[in-house]
Amino acid sequence: MTDPARLERMSALLEDRYGVAGREAAERLRRWMSGEIPHAAPEVIDRHLEAEHLPLVFDAFRQVLPFGTGGRRGPVGYGPNRMNPSTVAMTAQGHSNYLNGTSREKPRATGPSPERPLSVVVANDVRVFTDNAGAYGFLDPRHPLMGVSSRSLARLACEIYAANGIVAYLAAPEDDHAVTSTPELSCFIVQLGAAGGVNVSASHNPPDDNGIKVYDAYGSQPIAPEDQRLVDAMERATEVRTMPFEEGLRSGMIRPLPPELHAAYVDTYVSLYGNLRPPDHRAPLVYTPLCGCGVNTVKEVLERLGFTLLIPPDQGLDGSFAAIPFKAPNPEVPHATAPAREFADRHGVGIVLSSDPDADRIGMEARIADGSWYHFDGNQIAAILCHHLMLDPGGPRRRGLVMETLVTTKLLGRIVGEAGDSWLIDDLRVGFKYVADVLKTLERSGRYRDVVCSPGDLVLAAEESHGVVMAPGIRDKDATPACMFLAALYQRLLDEDRTMLDYYVDMLRELGSYDNVNRGITLSGAEGNRRKDRIMASLREAPPRELAGQPVRRFVDYWDAERFGPIVSDTDRLPRNVLQAHTDHFIITVRPSGTEPKLKLYCQLLPDGEPLDAAGTGLLDEVRGRADRVARSLYNELLSYIDVSLDEAGLLLPDIIDLDKKQHFAGETVPRLHDAMRGGGFAGLDPLLDWLRAETGYMTPGADPLPALRLSVARLCRDWRGEPGMSLVEELGRWASGR
C-alpha cells in the first residue's frame, strides 16, 4: 500500500520542478497509483517515489505515449509514457471500441455477420525486455516488466479483442515464441477479410523498446482524419474488458492463423520473380534476419526460388538481439551486420543481405574489388532495384507506377523518365501509410491526382529508410522482394566479373551524381522534446536564407494551409511537421521522427552538371564527400538553435547516440583520453582500449561501445599526431581505421 504522504511529496516535487507540466504528470501518477488503470503495478511504481527518481517519474507520466505514425512506440517501463501491458491494453480496448462502432455504421453486406464475425490479426516480433540500460536497477530484478515480450503483449491484446466480441487471429496461439512479420500482417488482414490488425513490435529499435501499431482493413495504417477517429476512440476508452486466453481459444474467439495464408504469401513472390534468370545454387548468399522474423519470410522465399543461403548460426530468432552490435538490429546502420560480414568472409561470400526484426526493412553490404565491404544505404538500394527492374537489359524491363516519399532519392525520377511509359509519384509524406493510401485510392477509383492506373501497375514504391513495396496486395514495406531481386542481380554480376558497387557507379555515370545523406539528432526525454520543438519553431520563425553556404531558393513548410490545405486533425499535424529548403545543389528536409526520439535531417544532393572523372570507390567518395560535408554543416547549424555545437569528432559518432552523450564525450571523455595518452600510463594498445571501453560504457548501455568510436577516434588521432608524449597515437589510429 502506498503511503499517501510519499505520493503527495512526489506530486509537490513534480509541480515545483516542472510547473504546469509537472502538475499534469502528478495527476496521471495519482490515477495510476489508484488501481483504476489495468496492469499498472502501483506497488512497483511506489518504489519510484523518491526524490532521486524525479526525472524518471516526470518523463514516465508527463504524457500518454503519443499515437504517431500509426501507433505507439517507446521505451518499456512504468507509466503512461512508456510501453507496458497497460499501454497495450488501453490501445487494444480503444481499437475494439473503434471497430465495434465503425462496423455498425457499415452496410450489412460488408459489415460483420454470424457467418463472418468481426476479426483482427495480431502480429508480434521477437523482442524481450531485460532493461539493458539499467533504468530500473533500483527495483527487484524480478519486477513485473522483466521478461515482458512482444509475444506476451500480443497475447494480452488477443484477450481484450476476444472480450469485446472480436475474433483475434494469432500465429500458433499455444507457442510462446511464434512470430508474424509486418508484411505478413498486412497481407493476412486482406486475405482473411479482417477489419484490421495490430503489430506488437518496435521494428529496428533495441530490445528495451517496444510498440504497437494499428492497421485497417486494407492492411495499411490509417491516415488522417481516420486515424484521428481511432485516437479519439482510444482516449474515450475507460474500462478494459478482458477474457482469459484459454477461454478465448476454447470459444473460438482466439484462433490460429491458417497456414495456407503463409503459403500464399510465399507464392506471391515466387510469381513476382517470374521468368528472371534461375538462381545459381553454386553461388551462395549470406542472409541475416538480425535475430528476427525474416527467417519465416525472406529465408523461405529465397530458398523456395532455389537460392543457397548461409545464415550466421547465432542470428536466428532471439529477442535479446545478443549477437547484434549495440543490440540495435537496424539494417540502416553498418554496425548491425558486422558479424554477418565476418561470417561471409569466412565462407568466401561477397554479399550480405539483412532484414530487421519485423522483416520490413532491407539491408545490403557487398564486397568490392579491393576485398573490403561497402554498405548501401536505403536510397542506393532503391535506385539499384528501380534500375534493375526498369532499365537493366538483363532485368525484367518493367513499366508502370513508381512511388517515393519527398525525402527519397531523386534518382528514381530520372530512371522513370528514361524508361518511359510509366508514372512517377515522388512527393508523398514520410511513411509507407501514404504509399498504401495511393494504392487504396487507385483500387477504389483508378485515379490518384493525374495518375490513371491500377494497383497492379505497381513496379516499385520506396522510401529512404530501407523500405520497398512491389506487390500491390501487401500494403506495408517488405524486405522479401528486395532481397529476392538483389540476390538475382548479385549472381548475374558475379558472372560478369562486376560488383554491386560497379553496378551503382555505372548508374551514376549514366544518370548523374545524385546522393543522399541522412542524419538524426537523438534528443531523448522531456528536455529532448523541448529542444526538437525549439529547433523547428526557430526555423519557421526565421526561415534561413542560406544553408551550408548555398542560397535558399525556396523554403517549404508543410503546415502551410494555403499551399497544402488545412490540418484536418491532430494526427495530421505530426506527419506535416516537415520543413524543406531547396538550393541549386541540394534539397534539405527536417522533421521530427514519429517513432523515435530524433530530429531527422535529410540531405538530397543533386547533379551539378560537372563530369565525373573518378572511378569506382573514388567516384563514390567524391560524391558522398560533398553530401557529407553539407550534412555535417547542417547538423551543426540545427544545433545552433539550441546553443550547442559539436566538433568533428563528435559529429562522427553514430546518430543512435543521444546528443547529451555526444556532448559528454566531446567535453569530458576526449580530454581525459588525451591526458591519459600523454601521461604514457598504458603498457600497450589493449590496456588503452580497455580503459576507453570502461570510460565510454555510458554511450551504448549493454553493448561494447568501441565499434561506435572508431571514426571519431581516427579523427582524434589525426589531430594529435606529432604531439609530444603520444607514443600510442599511431597504433590507436591504425586500430580506429581498421588497419
Q: What is the 3-state secondary structure (H, E, C) of 482-504?
A: HHHHHHHHHHHHHHCCCCHHHHH
Residue 227 lies inside a defined structural domain of this protein: yes
Those residues whose C-beta lies under 8 Å from the C-beta of residue 173, and which sit 6 or more positions away, are 155, 158, 245, 249, 254, 255, 256
CATH number at residue 613: 3.30.310.50
**Same domain flag for 214 and 191:** yes
Whose cell is 512482444? That residue is 150
Query: Could you give the CA distance from residue 216 to residue 196 in angstroms, rounded to a whole number?
Result: 4
Say if CB 461 and CB 453 are below 8 A apart.
no
Helix (H, G, I), strand (E, B) or coil at 39: coil
DSSP code of 334? Answer: G
Query: 49 Cβ partners below 8 Å, 6+ apart?
Result: 2, 6, 7, 9, 10, 57
Average pLDDT over residues 99-124: 72
Instruction: Enumerate residues 6+ apart whose C-beta is below 8 A from 630.
Output: 517, 548, 586, 588, 603, 605
| Residue 666 domain boundaries | 657-736
CB atoms within 10 A of CB 452: 12
- For residues 459 and 577, membership in a common domain is answered with no
Q: % helix / strand / coil in the chain, to the nearest 5?
A: 45, 15, 40
Closest CA to 207 of 308, 130, 293, 269: 130
Shared domain check, 326 and 362: yes
- φ, ψ at 604 (rounded to 5°): -105, 110
Strand spans (E) along 323-399:
351-355, 362-367, 373-376
pLDDT tens per residue across span 636-648: 999 999 999 999 9
DSSP string across 297-324: THHHHHHHHT--EE--TT-SS-TT-TTS
Which residue among 202, 236, 255 closes a domain?
Answer: 255
Residue 110: band (very low, low, confident or very high) from pLDDT cuts 50, 70, 90? very low
The three-class DSSP label of residue 442 is helix
Q: What is the mean pLDDT of residues 72-83?
A: 96
- Which H or E run contains 461? strand 458-463
Write the pLDDT tens digit of every residue in 266-302: 999 999 999 899 999 999 999 999 999 999 999 999 9
Burial-class residue 313 by CB neighbours within 10 Å (0-12, 13-18, 19+).
Answer: exposed
Q: Are residues 497 and 520 in the same domain?
A: no
**Number of independent structural domains in the chain:** 5
> d(Cα 401, Cα 472) in Å, to the nearest integer?
11
Whether residue 200 lies inside any domain: the answer is yes
Final residue in a domain of this structure, among 613, 645, 677 = 645
* CA proximity to 358, closest of 172, 121, 184, 597: 184
Question: Does residue 365 register a pLDDT over 50?
Answer: yes
At 618, the pLDDT band (50, 70, 90 cuts) reads confident
Asked if the model's pLDDT at residue 539 lies above 90, the reply is yes
Place of cell 486466453: 245
Same domain, residue pair 44 and 80 = no
Q: What is the pLDDT of residues 11-42, one digit of tens each?
A: 999 999 999 999 999 999 999 999 899 999 99
Q: pLDDT band at residue 574, thresholds of 50, 70 and 90? A: confident
Give the DSSP per-residue string, 219-283: SS---TTHHHHHHHHHHH--------HHHHHHHTSEEEPPHHHHHHHHHHHHHHHTTS----TTS
Counting residues of the chain whose pLDDT is more than 90, the rounded percentage is 84
The answer to whether residues 399 and 459 touch, using CB atoms and an 8 Å cutoff, is yes
Q: Residue 168: which H helix or E strand, with range? A: strand 167-170
CA torsion, ordered 417, 423, 429, 433, to nearest 10 deg: -140
The reply to whether 680 falls in a domain is yes
| Residue 571, in any domain of the structure | yes
What pLDDT sits at residue 676?
Answer: 86
Domain closes at, from 255, 289, 317 = 255
CB 451 within 8 A of CB 439: no
Answer yes or no: is pLDDT of 593 > 90. no
User: Kindly report the CA angle at 14 between 664 and 667, in degrees rounded to 5?
Assistant: 10
CB 520 within 8 A of CB 311: no
- Same-domain pairing of 247 and 268: no
Torsion, Cα of 600, 200, 361, 413 (10° steps): -60
* Range 416-444 average pLDDT: 96
Residue 68 lies in a domain: no
Smallest CA-to-CA distance from 512 within 417, 634, 385, 376 is with 417
| Helical spans, DSSP H, in 565-615 | 570-573
Among the residues of 352-424, which ranges form H helices? 378-390, 411-419
> Confidence class of residue 651 from pLDDT cuts 50, 70 and 90?
very high
Is residue 67 one of the residues assigned to a domain? no
What's residue 726's pLDDT? 87
Q: Are strands 285-288 and 351-355 parallel, antiparallel or unpaired?
A: parallel
> What is the arithmetic mean of pLDDT over 111-122?
78
Long-range contacts of 26-30 (CB under 8 A, 24+ apart): 26/61, 28/61, 28/62, 28/64, 28/79, 28/80, 29/57, 29/61, 29/79
Give the range with max mean pLDDT: 82-91, 520-529, 604-613, 716-725.
Answer: 82-91
Cα–Cα distance measured from residue 445 to residue 434, given in angstroms and rounded to the nearest whole number = 16
- Tens of pLDDT, residues 673-721: 998 888 777 888 999 999 999 999 988 877 789 989 999 999 999 999 9
Check if the beta carbon of residue 698 is closer than 8 Å to that of residue 672: no
Same domain, 519 and 621: yes
Assess whether pLDDT exceeds 70 at residue 419: yes
Q: What is the pLDDT of residues 494-511, one digit of tens each?
A: 999 999 999 999 999 999
> Is 652 a domain residue?
no
Q: Are residues 54 and 141 in the same domain?
A: no
Q: Locate cell 508474424: which residue?
A: 180
DSSP secondary structure code for residue 64 in this structure: P
From 151, 13, 16, 29, select the one nearest 82 (Cα to Cα).
29
736 Cβ contact partners less than 8 Å away, ≥ 6 residues apart: 709, 710, 711, 713, 714, 717
CATH number at residue 130: 3.40.120.10
> Hey, what amino acid is at 626?
R
Give residue 238's pLDDT.
Answer: 78
Same domain, residue pair 519 and 507: no
Cα–Cα–Cα angle for 287, 382, 549, nearest 5°?
120
Q: What nine digits make up the cell of 466?
A: 530501407
What cell numbers appear for 479 in the block?
524486405
- What pLDDT score does 739 carry? 64
Mean pLDDT of 433-437: 95
Q: Mean pLDDT across the chain, nearest whole number?
A: 93
Q: What is the identity of the amino acid at 122?
A: V
- Paired residues of 362 in beta bridges: 355
Residue in the block written with cell 519485423: 358
Query: Average pLDDT for residues 394-414, to the nearest whole number?
Result: 97
- Give the closest residue to 487 by CA, choosing from 270, 182, 283, 183: 283
Please indicate, yes or no, whether residues 602 and 623 belong to a single structural domain of this protein.
yes
* Digit-coded pLDDT (tens) for 304-353: 999 999 999 999 999 999 999 989 999 998 999 999 999 999 999 999 99
Three cell numbers written together for 211: 510498440
Is the domain of 27 the same as that of 152? Answer: no
In a shared domain, residues 103 and 40: no
Beta carbons within 8 Å of 121's beta carbon, 6+ residues apart: 168, 169, 170, 180, 185, 188, 189, 192, 194, 196, 197, 215, 257
CA dihedral 68, 69, 73, 74 (to 10 degrees): -60
**Assigned domain for 631 exists:** yes
